[in-house]
Amino acid sequence: MFYRVVTSSRSPGIANGLTYESSDAKPLQGMPVRVSLRKKIVEGIVVEVLEKKEETAYAMKGIDEVLGESPVLTQAQIRTALWMSEYYCATLRQSVGLWFPPPPWSRVFPKARIGYKLSEGATDTVLRGEKQNSVRDHLLGKDWVSKEDLTKEFGNVTAVLSALSKRGIVTAQSRSDEQIHPKDLRSTILAKPALTEDQILAYESIRSVDKPSLLFGITGSGKTEVYAQLIADTIAEGKQALLLVPEILLTEYSIQRFEALLRRDAISVLHSRLSIKERCTEWKKIAQGDAALVIGSRSALFAPLKNLGLIVIDEEHEWTYKNEQSPRYHVRETAEALARFSHARLVLGTATPSLEAWARAKSGTYHLVRLRKRYLDQHLPIVRIIDLADTTFGKYYPFTPELLSALDERLARKEQSVLFLNRRGMATALLCLACRRRVICPESQLPFTVHTAGNGNPYLLDHTTGIRADVPSRCPHCKATDLLAVGAGTQKLESVLAARFPSAVILRADSDTLKDAEEMREILRKMRERKADILFGTQSVVKGLDLPGVTLAAVLLADNGLSLPHFRAGERVFDLLTQLVGRSGRSQSGKVIIQTFRPDAPEIIAAARHETEKYLDDELKLRIHGGYPPATKIVRLLVRGVNPALQAKRLLEEARAAAKGFPDVASIHSSPTFSNAGKEWQILLRGSEPRLLLSKLDLRDVTIDVDPIETL
């Protein structure tokens, strides 16, 4: 038999696998092996079993060793990796590698262990040494005992075992250390959730179909309880479940919500901020069958679950579900493939469906399930839009007098508030009052943000590249000395809040303050236990948090992102505003304040009026009219290196010439990317099937991004 093996070697020439033969061992698809590669022995995964070998001019090497007794990846997972490689134009090693911690893969592959058992007639042989007799007695009635266990029991037994082996008393055997536990996961269920009538109808509707379901529930409608019931059903059927959340920091929050459903030891957590050792530990726990439920961010989709029965994608609209490194997969599309190959149920839940999911639900590709009311019929909050053009701020910019008054009221009533500003730092830019230009980063050509260090000294930071610089004494453009920090970020908010509300307990949540999940867990604990009054920050404070004590939510500046030259800009702003509205009034009457310079923007009006379906339908019509996704598809080609503008121009001409034979490619254009102006260029292929054009282009040293999120 012949086997296609993808190795962990980083050599680009063999990234899609090599063919080996084996006459003795017959590994199955998905099994780990050791093979020869350029005078080295490397580990790999069997991705295909072949009846016939390819015609080659060289002698085919054999498989050196099969590791373990069963596959480490299921057939469905291998098929998903093959699908990803083809659809996202990635190498097979890149796709297969997603299912493992970083190389070497041998960290989690089964390892051979030497053990011993008694040979026939060994009990009749007279032994002289006391240690030899002790070892033989220990092996009596045992099928196999590892050398490690014998060493723990009797100390150094190498000489004893060698002597016993020579006399035929014991027989050495090599076994894998893999331990697939046939555990009954049903015993891990503690209690099933109590569902309302609306939740029962949604749950039963999802259970009644064999296609992906879009659970469209308004904020606070109890989607999590529906997930919990579906997860409990899956585990009761002897299968495993996977829950994906959009933010790493939300995994800890999700764990706490599901600890009432399952024993904690049956829940596994996977995300990219785990150390390699922690990832290996979780990987082995899942692969050995000890995890009934896996919770994690994007990368948790590739958990080595052997009996997957359910995939839930919470907040499916989030752009963080798109991977921006090769392979540039999207969780939604990849989860569809994995669910299809695994015969598993797929549920996508959100209060603000992505246009892609909404279009599929409207067409019947997805099964649409609605939760129209909040849990226990709690009313949606009253929303107030404040036009910043008519506002006098005073010394507490960017807080309007009305927002300050509303915060005072909540503090007096011992209620909590959540504030959102999608900008870190002390100020959004450093402006020269002489030439009216902002100080920009030379790498990205974007304005620096002003931050304050722990010692109080300011510095400049580019959030796209991470480049840090000192605050200049003169304008880089006109050399004037009149520089002013303008705008506000979360650092500025913190200082303003502390000055205006000195007795309030104030918590800040942004990427500058949250370095690990433990810090977010502590913030949420304080909010739930009413030990904090005001929580403010960037996107972390608006995504999926259920905080019953919050009766006021506010966005300090709703305009951020509306003016970007991007067809998804309005959708993103609408999603954030709607999610923010959902943080208020979950257990008692709530209020929301939206501060904006554009009170007539359709995204702001729709979010304030809770008109999600109307906004989605209107936006879908605009996308269809303009020929943008989901009405069409896009492939983005990224060109970097020496003189990328010239390279992009040549590739653009080549693409336009080739497209004449491809009516499925409607438009092609080129431009510098937003974050690396001039140093990275993109070419966008747009149409019903733009991927068809790729085989006609010279794409050496070009990054291919299928279904991109970031396009300008």
Across 156-165, 432-441, 457-466, the highest mean pLDDT is recorded for 156-165
Evaluate whether 185-375 and 382-426+488-621 have a shared fold.
Answer: yes
First to last CA, the chain: 50
Q: What is the pLDDT of residue 707?
A: 95
Q: What is the pLDDT of residue 432?
A: 87
Q: How distant, in Å, are the alpha carbons of 64, 211, 213, 354, 356 from that of 360?
A: 48, 11, 10, 10, 6
Q: What is the pLDDT of residue 68?
A: 84
Q: Which of 129-138, 191-200, 412-421 comes out lowest in average pLDDT?
A: 129-138
Yes or no: say if 87 and 333 are a contact pair by the CB < 8 Å rule: yes
Q: What is the pLDDT of residue 55?
A: 65
The arithmetic mean of pLDDT across residues 220-241, rounded, is 95
Q: What is the pLDDT of residue 358?
A: 98
Q: How many residues does the chain have?
A: 712
Contacts of 636 (CB under 8 A, 6+ apart): 682, 683, 684, 685, 704, 705, 708, 711
Contacts of 174 (CB under 8 A, 6+ apart): 112, 113, 114, 115
Which of 659, 604, 661 shows the shortest CA–CA distance to 635? 659
Across 19-23, 303-307, 564-568, the highest mean pLDDT is recorded for 303-307
Take residue 591 and report the two structure tokens written for it.
């209020």
The string of DSSP letters for 445-496 reads -SBPEEEE-TTS-EEEE-TTT--EEPPPSS-TTT--S-EEEES--HHHHHHH
Q: What is the pLDDT of residue 148?
A: 86
pLDDT classification of 54: cutoffs 50, 70, 90: low
Contacts of 617 (CB under 8 A, 6+ apart): none
Q: What is the pLDDT of residue 305?
A: 96
- The residues facing 449 across adjacent strands are 461
Take residue 254 and report the two structure tokens written for it.
């999700």
Yes or no: say if 273 and 223 are a contact pair by the CB < 8 Å rule: no
Instruction: Quote the percentage of the chain above a pLDDT of 70.
Output: 95
CB neighbourhood size of 77 (10 A) = 26
The tens digit of pLDDT for each residue in 366-396 reads 999 999 998 878 889 999 999 988 888 888 8
- For the cut 70, the answer to whether the pLDDT of residue 180 exceeds it is no
- For the cut 70, the answer to whether the pLDDT of residue 365 exceeds it is yes
CATH number listed for the domain at residues 185-375: 3.40.50.300
Contacts of 589 (CB under 8 A, 6+ apart): 379, 381, 382, 551
Q: What is the pLDDT of residue 351?
A: 95
Q: What is the pLDDT of residue 354?
A: 97
Q: Hey, what CATH topology would domain 2-107 get?
A: GIY-YIG endonuclease (3.40.1440)
- For the cut 90, the answer to whether the pLDDT of residue 175 exceeds it is no
Contacts of 74 (CB under 8 A, 6+ apart): 30, 306, 308, 342
Take residue 369 and report the two structure tokens written for it.
């399930």
Q: What is the pLDDT of residue 651?
A: 94
Yes or no: say if 73 and 45 are a contact pair by the CB < 8 Å rule: yes
- The residues facing 670 across adjacent strands are 683
Take residue 542 and report the two structure tokens written for it.
């608006």
CA atoms 555, 558, 560, 561: torsion sign: positive
The tens digit of pLDDT for each residue in 242-262 reads 999 998 877 877 888 899 999
Q: What is the pLDDT of residue 562?
A: 76
Q: What is the pLDDT of residue 673?
A: 79
Q: What is the pLDDT of residue 602?
A: 95
| 606-623 b/e (C-beta count within 10 Å ≥ 16 → b) | bbbebbbeebbeebbeeb
91-97 contacts at long range (C-beta below 8 A, 24 or more positions apart)? 91/12, 91/15, 91/16, 92/6, 92/15, 92/16, 92/17, 92/47, 93/6, 93/7, 93/8, 93/15, 93/16, 93/17, 94/15, 94/326, 94/327, 95/327, 96/6, 96/45, 96/47, 97/8
Q: Which of 374-388, 464-478, 512-526 comes out lowest in average pLDDT?
A: 512-526
In whole angstroms, what is the distance from residue 143 CA to residue 554 CA?
Answer: 67
Q: What is the pLDDT of residue 676?
A: 62
The tens digit of pLDDT for each residue in 12-41 reads 889 999 999 987 778 999 999 999 998 888
The arithmetic mean of pLDDT across residues 100-112, rounded, is 88
Yes or no: say if 607 and 594 are a contact pair by the CB < 8 Å rule: yes
Higher pLDDT, 25 or 602: 602
pTM of the full predicted structure? Answer: 0.88
Q: What is the pLDDT of residue 92?
A: 96
Strands 449-452 and 429-432: unpaired
In whole angstroms, what is the distance from residue 146 CA to residue 136 CA?
Answer: 13
pLDDT classification of 196: cutoffs 50, 70, 90: very high
pLDDT classification of 424: cutoffs 50, 70, 90: low
Burial status of residue 199 (CB atoms within 10 A of its CB: 0-12, 13-18, 19 or more): buried
The arithmetic mean of pLDDT across residues 150-162, rounded, is 90
Q: What is the pLDDT of residue 576?
A: 92
H helices of 554-658, where?
Answer: 569-581, 602-608, 612-626, 644-658
Instruction: Give the neighbor-by-neighbor strand order of the sheet with 32-37.
Output: 18-21, 2-7, 40-50, 32-37, 63-66
Opening angle at CA 110, ends 105 and 112, nearest 5? 120
In whole angstroms, what is the distance from residue 302 CA to residue 101 CA?
Answer: 10
In whole angstroms, what is the distance from residue 386 CA to residue 651 CA?
Answer: 48
Yes or no: say if 133 and 170 are a contact pair by the CB < 8 Å rule: no
Q: What is the pLDDT of residue 181?
A: 58
The tens digit of pLDDT for each residue in 530-551 reads 999 999 988 878 876 788 999 9
Q: Hey, what CATH topology would domain 112-176 get?
A: Arc Repressor Mutant, subunit A (1.10.10)
The continuous run of DSSP H or E covering 509 comes out as: strand 506-509
In the chain, where the domains are located: 2-107, 112-176, 185-375, 382-426+488-621, 633-706
Higher pLDDT, 489 or 372: 372
Gyration radius (Cα) of the chain, Å: 30
Higher pLDDT, 523 or 180: 523
CATH number listed for the domain at residues 382-426+488-621: 3.40.50.300
Q: Hey, what CATH topology would domain 633-706 get?
A: Alpha-Beta Plaits (3.30.70)
Q: What is the pLDDT of residue 506?
A: 95
Q: What is the pLDDT of residue 674?
A: 66
- For the cut 70, the answer to whether the pLDDT of residue 83 exceeds it is yes
The tens digit of pLDDT for each residue in 649-662 reads 999 999 999 998 88
- For the cut 90, the answer to whether the pLDDT of residue 207 exceeds it is yes
Q: What is the mean pLDDT of the chain?
A: 89
CB neighbourhood size of 105 (10 A) = 21
Q: Which of 113-117, 440-444, 515-519, 638-642 comes out lowest in average pLDDT?
A: 515-519
- For the cut 60, the answer to whether the pLDDT of residue 57 exceeds it is no
